[in-house]
Amino acid sequence: MVKVKLLVTAGIALALAGAAGCSGGGGGGGSSDPGGPTVTFSPPSGLKVAPSDLRLETLIPTRTPAAPAVDPSIVLGSALRASLPTAETVPSGWTLNTKYGPATPSDSGAQVLSGTTGLGPTAPCGVMNNMTVLDGEAAYASQQIRSTDGNEYAALVTVDSFRTGQAAKQLAVTRDFAARCPSFTEKGTGAGHSDVEVRLVAKPLDGLGDEALDFKMLPEGNYLGNETVLVRIGDRVLNLRCGADKYGDFPDTAALARELAKLVK
């Protein structure tokens, strides 16, 4: 099972099955989600920043090593690197991110990772704060990239390989959780340890992999949201995570995921 953290605070850090994260430095004055209410963000002068503000060096999820893979459907992390963007294959408008060190991918090596279900039908909505997703095992590889359009969005791209049938189960569990928890209260994560109300807006993405899910975590008040796109390709999952910039805007995460999905082997 893949163990991942999901923090819902200012600059929300969100991770699912291998996590991908993104933060930006530019943008307009607001953000809205198709089919949902408009979310308006205050200008930077009124921005509240909680201690767990999103930083790239905090985006790699906590993972628990398990025994070497026994299911041949699990591709080990060292081999999954072939599905990550390189300097030659990174989508147009993006480049490998060297801001926090060398642009070197990370992976689970010769191990797989395990954990326990955290999004079941009886789990409280607040479990999104610190969760594990899906019983089972998986291996992963991750690579940081950043945009070159002046906004300097920075994304963490992860490819996970699951044992047979578990990738599809993961997306199903995530969809069910989003439908059951369209909003929830994040206790004590705001300024002065105040509570933060968070909306979870999820929608399918057609024509992307075998199935794909886009969801946004949108906190009320002057807090930054987070967007994640999960793309299932057989028993593998591409995970692209992007946080809103200081104005509440997101890059075109779905379009970026569409290009990155072409690299998954």
pLDDT digit string (tens) for 106-146?
999 988 877 655 677 777 887 765 444 455 678 999 999 99
The residue ranking higher by pLDDT, 169 or 208, is 208
Looking at residue 136, its pLDDT comes to: 62
Looking at residue 87, its pLDDT comes to: 94
The residue ranking higher by pLDDT, 100 or 263, is 263
Q: 3-7, 174-178, 236-240: which range is least confident on average?
A: 3-7
Residue 165 · residue 155 · CB < 8 Å: no
Mean pLDDT across 151-158 = 85
Most confident of 8-22, 64-78, 195-209: 195-209
- Among 186, 83, 169, which Cα is nearest to 133's? 169
Residues in Cβ contact with 83 at an 8 Å cutoff, skipping those fewer than 6 apart: 141, 159, 236, 238, 263, 264, 265
Residues in Cβ contact with 259 at an 8 Å cutoff, skipping those fewer than 6 apart: 91, 92
Mean pLDDT across 232-252 = 88
Looking at residue 130, its pLDDT comes to: 46
Looking at residue 23, its pLDDT comes to: 53
Angle at 215 between CA 213 and CA 221, to 5 degrees: 180
What is the enclosing helix (H) or strand (E) of 216?
A: strand 211-219
